[in-house]
């Protein structure tokens, strides 16, 4: 059975999506989202459940008004009761393309336990509700709630009644996310072969993600003749959510070769829509979420980064720009390699030659081992520090500090001075003072500490500390800087940096 070439995208973020506990949206938020969905080219916006509350009714009505001049269909959901349907008709009336979406459950458990209705009463309700809706609007969608757990013979009879009463779209929801793809696809194929006038309606899939199969099931329905998919941005929806709109749209686009159909969605707006829904609901998007997750176009491992730099198609099946993400990011971390590191340095404006590059790369790896996120600023601080160091007389080897409320604060330090390793220990009024006293013991000098300043290079408790030190001696002022995740190590190195520079300036003065 062939798929339809154009699959209609029915967005239910504001109806089923809003049914997620904690996902309620205000009128303003819904109007903004509706505007974006409209711009994006969504075919149907299910704007709410008008009978649920005055607020929901008003939202559906305002969205219908706001989008009246567009091609977008605006629909509301309603039970099969006359009051719900009237209310829904009133709410969508202002739309240029109003739709009433009415439903009733057809599975034995729902009919017996929830509705307390027999099969005949349900069939009667379907005929009556669809006819009533058709008297209000030309476009009526009917859904068989819990279709996938319904008796197939009865489901066919129910669908037949809905089509005869004037439904234009028949939706077969997997309400509880129970079906698997082959089963769900077969249901569409069989029902389309069985029900009279099956070719006169649009078949719709509405899948829930309780088993993580919502997108796969929706695609299986498409391959078996469904022409509409009901889905929600970020997969928002009851319990584990609905099929994610962005995943459906990109699967159809990227695998058009196999699935033979597409949507008319402007995919470059997907990332923006995802962000908007996440901000409105306060539900974060999981980092590894397909299409719109923070890591969907990010690569940290060296082998992948090297491949990406040579040809992006080695590790990406779609362009980030196509979904509205500005570019792929090569995230620098402990799994990164030299190719990506060199590329990052170049982007940051540094051209290091082989030895300097190797040295910087080694220091970067050491840092990445100690720090969860290595930001651009961290890398710049690391290279700046390296560049500002020439042939230094005194270099840092090792530091151990005893600090805390008990005291005495003590620093034990190893330095290399003129090629010879020297060790000492000293106390101080606090750990930083102890470190500087230890340095003074190994390298006696009369320079005065004029400034000592610490700032965090990036955020987080594991951020690198950047320390600046200013020393002054006989009119010579020298500043040193260093960055390290350990503030005391950064302090020692910054002090030594300033001291080395002071030494060079002293010698220059003597030579002059
Ligand atoms: C699978 C889905 O997503 S279905 C949509 C679910 N969405 C919502 O429920 C959100 C909006 N709902 C609401 O605001 C409220 O439930 C309302 C306004 C619709 C109804 O509220 P209440 O009248 O207080 O009823 P309540 O919600 O407690 O119970 C639902 C009633 O509707 C009946 N019902 C459920 N589905 C249908 C249906 N499709 N057609 C007719 N009646 C139905 C139930 O059997 C129950 O009837 P009872 O009161 O005779 O036992
Ligand atoms: C009411 C219908 C469309 C629904 O949301 C479901 O069955 O999951
Ligand atoms: Mg649903």
| pLDDT value at residue 328 | 83
| pLDDT value at residue 502 | 84
**pTM > 0.95: yes or no:** no
According to CATH, what is the number of the domain 8-257?
3.20.20.70
Distance 491 CA to ligand 1 centre (A): 66
| pLDDT value at residue 508 | 61
Of the CA atoms within 13 Å of residue 199, those in its CB half-sphere come to 3
- The neighbourhood of ligand 3, an ion, using CB within 5 A, equals 16
206 and 230 Cβ atoms separated by less than 8 Å: yes
- Per-residue burial over 138-160, b = 16 or more CB atoms within 10 Å of its CB, e = otherwise: ebbbbbbbbbbbbeeebbbbbbb
Q: Atom 43 (ligand 1): residue with closest C-alpha?
A: 79
- Omega before 167 within 30 of 0, i.e. cis: no
Q: Atom 22 (ligand 1): residue with closest C-alpha?
A: 52
Residue 304 near ligand 2, beta carbon < 6 Å? no
214 and 241 Cβ atoms separated by less than 8 Å: yes
Beta bridge partners of 480: 469
Q: Which two tokens stand for residue 427?
A: 């106390």
Whether 101 has a binding-site annotation, put simply, is no
| pLDDT value at residue 3 | 54
**CA distances from residue 193 to 11, 188, 325, 389, 445 in whole angstroms, order as listed:** 27, 9, 42, 79, 95
Distance 503 CA to ligand 3 centre (A): 74
Whether 16 has a binding-site annotation, put simply, is yes
| pLDDT value at residue 512 | 41
Q: Atom 51 (ligand 1): residue with closest C-alpha?
A: 115
Q: Which two tokens stand for residue 282?
A: 């306060």
479 and 452 Cβ atoms separated by less than 8 Å: no
Which architecture does CATH list for 389-511? 2-Layer Sandwich (3.30)
- For 176-222, what is each residue's pLDDT tens digit? 999 999 999 999 999 999 999 999 999 999 999 999 999 999 999 99
| pLDDT value at residue 45 | 98
* CA nearest to 458, candidates 387, 376, 386, 388: 376
User: Which residues of the chain are modeled with pLDDT < 70?
Assistant: 1-4, 384-385, 387-391, 508-512
Of the CA atoms within 13 Å of residue 501, those in its CB half-sphere come to 18
The total number of residues shown for the chain amounts to: 512
As a whole number of angstroms, the distance between CA 375 and CA 365 comes to: 13
Pocket test residue of 52, 54, 106, 214 for ligand 1, highest count of atoms within 8 A of CB: 52
| pLDDT value at residue 391 | 62
ipTM over 0.90: yes
Q: Which residues line ligand 1 (CB under 6 A)?
A: 16, 19, 49, 51-52, 79-81, 103-104, 114-115, 145, 175, 238
Distance 178 CA to ligand 3 centre (A): 12
Whether 299 has a binding-site annotation, put simply, is no
| pLDDT value at residue 445 | 95
Q: Where are the chain's structural domains?
A: 8-257, 298-386, 389-511
Distance 175 CA to ligand 3 centre (A): 5
Through-space distance between the first and last CA atoms of the chain, rounded to whole angstroms? 92
Residue 117 CA, distance from chain mean position: 43
**CA distances from residue 95 to 27, 157, 204, 209 in whole angstroms, order as listed:** 17, 32, 21, 31
As a whole number of angstroms, the distance between CA 139 and CA 351 comes to: 64
Ligand 1 atom closest to Cα of residue 102: 39
Q: Which two tokens stand for residue 472?
A: 């002054």
Q: Which two tokens stand for residue 27?
A: 């009128």
Whether 6 has a binding-site annotation, put simply, is no
As a whole number of angstroms, the distance between CA 245 and CA 37 comes to: 11
């Amino acid at each position: 059975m062939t798929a339809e070439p154009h699959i209609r995208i029915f967005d239910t973020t504001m109806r089923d999506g809003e049914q997620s506990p904690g996902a309620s949206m205000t009128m303003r938020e819904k109007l903004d989202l509706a505007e974006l969905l409209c711009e994006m080219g969504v075919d149907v916006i299910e704007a709410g459940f008008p009978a649920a509350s005055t607020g929901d009714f008003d939202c559906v009505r305002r969205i219908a008004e706001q989008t009246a001049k567009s091609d977008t269909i605006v629909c509301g959901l309603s039970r099969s009761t006359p009051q719900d349907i009237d209310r829904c008709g009133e709410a969508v009336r202002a739309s240029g393309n109003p739709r009433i979406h009415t439903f009733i459950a057809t599975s034995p458990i729902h009919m017996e336990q929830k509705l307390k209705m027999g099969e005949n009463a349900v069939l009667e309700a379907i005929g009556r509700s669809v006819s009533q809706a058709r008297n209000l609007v030309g476009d009526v969608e009917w859904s068989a709630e819990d279709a996938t757990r319904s008796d197939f013979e009865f489901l066919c009879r129910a669908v037949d009644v809905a089509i005869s009463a004037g439904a234009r779209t028949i939706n077969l929801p997997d309400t509880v996310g129970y079906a698997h793809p082959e089963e769900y696809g077969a249901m569409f194929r069989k029902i389309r072969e069985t029900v009279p006038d099956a070719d006169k309606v649009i078949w719709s899939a509405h899948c829930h993600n309780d088993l993580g199969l919502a997108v796969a099931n929706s695609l299986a329905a498409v391959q078996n003749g469904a022409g509409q998919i009901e889905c929600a941005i970020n997969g928002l929806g009851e319990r584990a959510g609905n099929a994610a709109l962005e995943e459906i749209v990109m699967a159809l686009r990227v695998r058009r070769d196999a699935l033979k159909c597409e949507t008319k969605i402007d995919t470059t707006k997907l990332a923006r829509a995802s962000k908007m829904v996440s901000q409105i609901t306060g539900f974060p998007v999981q980092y590894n979420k397909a299409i719109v997750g923070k890591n969907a176009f990010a690569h940290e491992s060296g082998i992948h980064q090297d491949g990406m730099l040579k040809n992006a198609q080695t590790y990406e099946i779609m362009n980030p720009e196509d979904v509205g993400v500005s570019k792929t990011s090569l995230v620098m971390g402990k799994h990164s390699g030299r190719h990506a590191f060199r590329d990052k340095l170049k982007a940051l404006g540094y051209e290091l030659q082989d030895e300097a590059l190797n040295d910087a790369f080694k220091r970067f790896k050491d840092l990445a081992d100690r720090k969860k996120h290595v930001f651009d600023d961290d890398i710049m601080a690391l290279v700046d520090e390296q560049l500002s160091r020439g042939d230094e007389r005194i270099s840092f080897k090792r530091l151990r500090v005893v600090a805390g409320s008990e005291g005495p604060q003590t620093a034990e330090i190893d330095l290399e001075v003129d090629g010879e390793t020297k060790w000492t220990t000293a106390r101080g009024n606090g750990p930083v003072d102890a470190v500087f006293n230890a340095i003074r013991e190994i390298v006696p000098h009369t320079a005065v500490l004029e400034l000592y300043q610490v700032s965090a290079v990036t955020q987080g408790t594991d951020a690198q500390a950047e320390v600046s030190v200013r020393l002054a001696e006989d009119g010579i002022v020298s500043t040193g800087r260093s960055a390290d995740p350990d503030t005391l190590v950064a302090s020692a190195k910054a002090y030594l940096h300033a001291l080395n520079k002071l030494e060079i300036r002293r010698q220059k003065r003597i030579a002059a």
